[in-house]
Chain A
Amino acid sequence: MTGPKSPEHTRTVRVMAGKPKVYALSTCPYCKRTKRFLDEHKIDYDCTDVDLLDDAKQDEALEEIEKLTGRRSFPVVIIDDEIIVGYDEQRLRKALRL
C-alpha cells in the first residue's frame, strides 16, 4: 500500500508485539537512567534486577542474558527483536519510535 499513512496506521505501527523487558542491576546507574527514561516516556515494561534474585533465578536470568547478548553487561533492554545493551537513549528512542 502506498499513499499517506492514516492516523490509525501510525497507531498500529506504535503497538509493540510485547512489553519491553529490562534486565538491570539495582546498583548500576546506567540501569537506573534507562528505567528513568522509560518511566518518563510512560512506557509499560517488565524489569528484573538480576542482582536481587535468588540464586536459581539469577542463574536463569544470567544464562538468558548471555544467550541474547553474548556477554554479561547491564542494562539489557529487549524491545521486540531489538536488543540494546547499555544506556543508549538514541537506540531506545528509535526502537520505541519516540
Chain B
Amino acid sequence: MSDGKQERIYCPVCLARFKKEEGWSEGAVVICPICGQKLRLVWSPEGWQGERVDRGTEKEIRERAESFARLRGYSFNEMKEELIEGLVGKHRLFGEFYCPCRMEHTPEYQCPCKPTRGGDVERKGRCYCGFFWKKQV
C-alpha cells in the first residue's frame, strides 16, 4: 500500500476505521481513538484489522471505558464500579458489553454506545447510563 492513500484500521467494537499512524506494524498494540478499545494490529486480505486484546474480560471493558474517558476528557462518578459490574453482566448474559441500563443488544449499543460516541455527553452532560460525565468547568 504505497499509493499514498491513508491506511485505515478496522475496529471490531465501534465498527469504524481509524487512521493508521506512521510506524505501526503488524502485532502493534494500539488504542482505537474512537471507542478506546485496545487492539492488536493484524494484516488481512481485507486490510488492517484490530484484534481485541483481553476480549470479553472485565479488564477489557474497564480499560476501554477508561481510555475512552481519557480521550474525550470525561469523568466517572461513584456509580462507576456498579456500572462495570452491570457491563460484565451484559457480557455474561448477552455476549457483549452492552449498555447496562438499556434493553438494546445490538452492536451500536456496545459501551461506549453510538449516541455516546456521537456526542451525547457533550449535549446532555452524561451518557444514558450515567457512566461517562462531562467534566465541570
Contacts and interface: CB of A to CB of B under 8 A. Distances in A.
A28 interface: yes
Interface string B77-106: 001001101110110011000001111000
Contacts of A73: 101
Contacts of B130: 30
Contact of B82 (A26, A29, A51): A29
Nearest to A51: B103
Interface in A9-28: 25-28
B101 A28 contact: yes
Nearest to B79: A29
Interface residues of B, number: 16
Interface string A55-74: 00000001000000000111
Majority secondary structure of chain B interface residues (helix, strand, loop or mixed): helix
A27 B90 CA distance: 6
A30 B103 contact: no
A3 B101 CA distance: 47
B100 A27 contact: yes
A50 interface: yes
Interface in B99-137: 100-103, 129-130
A3 to B, nearest CB: 47
Interface of B: 79, 82-83, 85-87, 89-90, 93-94, 100-103, 129-130
Interface of A: 25-30, 32, 50-52, 62, 72-74
13 contacts: A26-B89, A27-B89, A27-B90, A27-B101, A28-B100, A29-B79, A30-B101, A32-B82, A50-B103, A51-B94, A52-B93, A72-B102, A74-B101
Given A27-B89, A27-B90, A30-B101, 5 more contacts: A25-B101, A29-B83, A51-B94, A51-B103, A52-B93
